[in-house]
Amino acid sequence: MGIAAAPKSVAHAGKGWGDTMSDIDDEFAVNDVVVEIVVVLGASTMRLNQILQLGRGAVVELESGPNDQVEVYANDILIAKGEVVITGGDVLGVAVTEVLKSVYTN
This model's pTM is above 0.95: no
CA separation for the pair 70, 84 (Å, rounded): 7
**Maximum Cα–Cα distance for the chain, whole Å?**
76
CA separation for the pair 27, 21 (Å, rounded): 10
What is the Cβ-side half-sphere exposure of residue 71, based on CA atoms within 13 angstroms? Answer: 11
CA separation for the pair 82, 66 (Å, rounded): 12
Assign 7 a pLDDT band (cuts: 50, 70, 90): very low
pLDDT of residue 10 exceeding 60 = no
In 1-106, where do the E strands start and end? 37-40, 70-74, 77-86, 92-99
Q: What is the rounded average pLDDT of the residues 33-44?
A: 92
Q: What integer pLDDT is reported at residue 29 of this predicted model?
A: 76
Q: Are 36 and 43 in contact (CB under 8 A)?
A: no
Taking the chain, what is the end-to-end CA distance rounded to the nearest angstrom?
A: 59
Assign 64 a pLDDT band (cuts: 50, 70, 90): confident
Q: What integer pLDDT is reported at residue 52 of this predicted model?
A: 96
Domains of the chain: 6-32 (no CATH), 36-99 (2.30.330.10)
